[in-house]
Amino acid sequence: MNAVSMDKGKTPDRIAASIEVSPKQAIESADLPGLFPKGVRVYITDIGSDSNETLVAAARRVHDLGYTPVPHFASRRLTTRSALEDRVKAMTAEAGVHDVLVIGGGLEKQAGEFSSTMEVLETGFFDKYGVTDIGVAGHPEGSPDIAPAALAEALAWKNAFAERSDASFYIATQFCFEAAPIIAWDKAMQAAGNRLPIHIGVPGLATIKTLINHAKACGVGPSMRFLTRQARNVAKLMTVNAPDKLLLDLARYKALDPDCGIARLHIYPLGGLKRSAAWTYAVADGDFEINPKGNGFKVTREID
């Protein structure tokens, strides 16, 4: 089983997984140099509080460290068309960006001219400035901001837009704790005609308390209830979570279903970059043992 390197032969790094950092981490973290293999996709979040200059500087440092910067473009947090074009131009010209993630942004009321991912993509700025890969959001457990019918309509639109764009498109999802909702969602997406490869969000090593707080903030549904059921007492809230069963179940699904749409994993390093990276590489290198029941595994390498 190598759930981490699902498309290993297609990427320059030894794992087919991406990871996420804040702009502050990207610019200031002393852990980043040499932490990941060269070429690994490093997503850079945009929560609306950082200036264009800060976001570009974050992408530039990620690029200069030898990784692939993937800045977020949160549509409802953007202001004007000209500001969007300036950011895309600066990202590509000054920070070597060729891969971006375009998401809704989670605001009830838009901050500027854009209300959706589709409106941002329709500007044509990503094609104009040579962006080659574009991620769009996926929601295996639904979205608190978008009705199911609207999600289905948006999926069809994004598949159609991908056909007329110069860029390659993919779907990046929120993190989940269970494989069953992911598998059901993937099959439903296939039935609806989805042709975009899927990058599944996976929580990195963290305390369950950390995961609960983050899940609440992200609006994660069934997985949140599943996690809460596992926290039977206060002591359990402080145990360490590892997504071993999730990865094992997804690897089996990938191996047994030739139509599986999952291409990669995206790691949310909720418990810290170093721990999440070390655990991920241990799995990629085969340093783990599947438990006797076959429903999970334990990493055999020491993780600080």
Spans of the chain below 70 pLDDT: 1-16, 107, 207-241
Q: How far apart are CA 173 and CA 29, in angstroms?
A: 25
262: Cβ contacts below 8 Å, ≥ 6 apart: 6, 182, 186, 197, 198, 199, 200, 250, 253, 254
Q: What is the pLDDT of residue 176?
A: 84
In order of their start, the domains of the chain are: 3-284 (3.20.20.220)
CB count, 10 Å around CB of 285?
Answer: 15
Strand 297-299 versus strand 240-241 pairing type: unpaired
* Maximum alpha-carbon separation in the chain: 58
- Give 284-295 pLDDT, tens digit per residue: 888 999 999 888
Query: pTM of the predicted model, to two decimals?
Result: 0.85
